[in-house]
Amino acid sequence: MEHKTSFFKAIKAVIWKDLIAELRSKELVSGMLVFSLLVIFIFNFSLELSPSTRASVTAGVLWVTIIFAGTIGLNRSMAVEKDRGCLDGLLLAPVDRTAIYFGKSIANWIFMLIVAAIILPVYSILYNHNVISIGLVFVILLGSEGYVAIGTLLASMAVQARTRDILLPILLFPVVIPILIASVKASNGFLIGVAFNELTNWIYLLAAYDVIFTSVAFMVFDAVVEE
């Protein structure tokens, strides 16, 4: 029996599998969500900010929350593949291995966006400061894409190590610093009402990092998962 698996069908299959498994277990999103809410609560009670300073720290608090929660999600997402040898099952399929990478990346991105969609209104209520705006949503889309693109690659590298839980943040955080800085600057700009054309440098930087990280991951994923 001869079958050819198209690149896009393989991506769809991996996304479908991750979404169905998460719908059942709710381990990944619930873990990320509880962690994010705790971070927001802790910042809220520990900083005791005046209304005027709240606006200036909002972007930083939001992005630190998203990035830390994202690490939990990325670790869990690859740990599931390591259980029962499932990663080998994926690698044994007659598909371009980068399709597996894109499938995992897109699923991780969806999980991150779900968490972001919940924490934005919670943050707005807790800090009594509306943060929901098209500009911020746009920056979250761009920033989280770059983060997930490189994060999924590094998580597939870290998952092969015994110290994977510690290894991933150590590898990931230094690499995503440009994304974090650009995301915080652009988000802050949108939140304090700076015009879009004044933020284009940060947006371009984010877009450039998204392209670079996705391209690098596309090129090296096969080598990273190779024994």
Partner 1 sequence: MSTVIEIKNLIKRFGHKQVLKNLNFSVNQGEFVAILGPNGAGKTTLLRILSSLSKPNFGSITIGGYSLPDQAAAVRLKLGIVSHQPLLYGDLSAEENLLFYSRLYGMDHPQNRIYEILQLVGLEKRKKDMIRTYSRGMQQRLAIGRAILHDPEVLLLDEPHTGLDQDASNMLDQLLEQVATRGRTVVMTSHDLGRVANMASRFDILTKGKIQSSISVNDLPLHGLLEYYQSVLSLIDANAETKNGT
Q: Count the residues of the shown chain that bind partner 1, applying the rule CB under 8 A.
A: 33
21 part of the interface to partner 1, by CB under 8 A:
yes
Choice between 9 and 173, CB closer to partner 1: 9
6 part of the interface to partner 1, by CB under 8 A:
yes
24 part of the interface to partner 1, by CB under 8 A:
yes
Choice between 40 and 100, CB closer to partner 1: 100
Choice between 85 and 121, CB closer to partner 1: 85
On the CB side of 3, how many CA atoms lie within 13 Å of its CA? 9
5 part of the interface to partner 1, by CB under 8 A:
yes
Q: Would you give the distance in Å from CA 184 to the centre of its chain?
A: 15
Given a contact cutoff of 8 angstroms between Cβ atoms, the answer to whether 130 and 58 are in contact is no
107 part of the interface to partner 1, by CB under 8 A:
no
DSSP assignment, residue 95?
S
Of 30, 47, 88, 196, the residue at the interface with partner 1 (CB under 8 A) is 88
Q: Smallest distance from the beta carbon of 166 to partner 1, in angstroms? A: 24
User: How many angstroms separate the CA atoms of 47 and 114, rounded?
Assistant: 26
Alpha helices (H) along 83-131 = 86-91, 97-127
Q: Smallest distance from the beta carbon of 13 to partner 1, in angstroms? A: 4
Taking alpha carbons only, the member of 180, 27, 191 closest to residue 123 is 191
84 part of the interface to partner 1, by CB under 8 A:
yes
Choice between 40 and 90, CB closer to partner 1: 90
User: How many angstroms separate the CA atoms of 153 and 72, rounded?
Assistant: 15
Choice between 94 and 193, CB closer to partner 1: 94
Given a contact cutoff of 8 angstroms between Cβ atoms, the answer to whether 93 and 10 are in contact is yes
Cα(first)–Cα(last) distance of the chain, in Å?
29
User: How many angstroms separate the CA atoms of 64 and 66, rounded?
Assistant: 6
Choice between 159 and 206, CB closer to partner 1: 159
Q: Smallest distance from the beta carbon of 224 to partner 1, in angstroms? A: 14
DSSP assignment, residue 161?
S
Rule CB under 8 A: which residues touch partner 1? 1-6, 9-10, 12-13, 16-17, 20-22, 24-25, 80, 83-86, 88-96, 226-227
